């Protein structure tokens, strides 16, 4: 019983994120902005932990993968809708880019039966979620507009890089070679991640 509960932890976190997104939307519509942002912030942060616990507890499942994908799409879609309602139309562009990435992934799955998660895709997500939150903040607080623009540009850049990487997968090219984090301390992992982040900007992915 305890093992089953442990295995269910990643899916419980993912489902809690879906609930948080729905509550965040309701609060935003009711103009309870602070509560809305808090729930959306939880949605962004919890996205890191379901994957972490899935790896740590060896609790991977197809249901979990689908649930995680649904929660990610719901998160983005809800913020896009709310931002458009408030007059921020910039978010439409990242939404279109995400649709293109999803189509390429779907075609790759049909062709190769498998899609590797590229490190550049993780960096894309790392800037995408804060960008979406600042998209909401920018509709209420003018100062966040400039933060949103910076994150918006970074998101588009890494979305384009992700498209390049997944096209390479579609063409049966070699998966990215990422730096190993095995046996590394936390601060060493952070330094390596920052170096990789910068390297994608200095040496962008190209279609092979």
Tens digits of residue pLDDT in 30-46: 989 889 989 999 988 88
Q: How confident is the model at residue 57 (pLDDT cuts 50, 70, 90)?
A: confident
Is residue 60 over pLDDT 80?
no
**Which residues lie below 8 Å from residue 151, measured CB to CB, with a gap of 6+?**
127, 130, 131, 134
Instruction: Note the residue count of the chain.
Output: 208
Tokens encoding 143: 């100062």
Helix (H, G, I), strand (E, B) or coil at 178: coil
Q: Which of 133, 171, 180 is CA-nearest to residue 152?
A: 133
Q: Which of 156, 51, 61, 151 is CA-nearest to residue 101?
A: 156
Structure pTM?
A: 0.78
Tens digits of residue pLDDT in 97-151: 988 988 887 887 787 766 666 778 888 888 988 898 899 888 888 888 899 999 9
Tens digits of residue pLDDT in 8-19: 888 888 899 999
Q: What share of the chain has pLDDT > 90, as a percent?
A: 21
Let me know: does 170 contact 107? Beta carbons within 8 Å. Answer: yes
* Helix, strand, coil fractions of the chain, as percent rounded to 5: 75, 0, 25
Q: Which of 64, 56, 65, 68 is CA-nearest to residue 21?
A: 68
> Of 53-67, 100-114, 134-148, 162-176, which one has max mean pLDDT?
134-148
């Amino acid at each position: 019983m305890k093992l089953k509960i442990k295995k269910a932890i990643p899916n419980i976190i993912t489902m809690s994120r879906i609930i948080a997104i729905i509550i965040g939307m309701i609060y935003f519509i009711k103009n309870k902005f602070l509560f809305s942002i808090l729930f959306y912030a939880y949605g962004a942060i919890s996205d890191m932990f379901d994957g972490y616990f899935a790896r740590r507890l060896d609790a991977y499942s197809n249901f979990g993968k689908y649930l995680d994908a649904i929660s990610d799409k719901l998160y983005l879609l809800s913020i896009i809708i709310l931002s458009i309602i408030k007059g921020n139309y910039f978010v439409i562009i990242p939404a279109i880019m995400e649709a293109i990435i999803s189509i390429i992934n779907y075609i790759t799955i049909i062709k190769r039966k498998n899609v590797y998660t590229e490190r550049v895709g993780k960096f894309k997500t790392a800037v995408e979620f804060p960008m979406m939150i600042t998209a909401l903040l920018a509709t209420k607080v003018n100062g966040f507009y400039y933060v949103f623009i910076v994150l918006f540009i970074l998101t588009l850049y890494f979305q384009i890089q992700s498209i390049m990487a997944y096209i390479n997968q579609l063409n049966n090219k070699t998966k990215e070679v990422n730096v190993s984090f095995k046996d590394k301390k936390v601060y060493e992992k952070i330094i390596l991640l920052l170096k990789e982040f910068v390297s994608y900007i200095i040496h962008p992915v190209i279609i092979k």
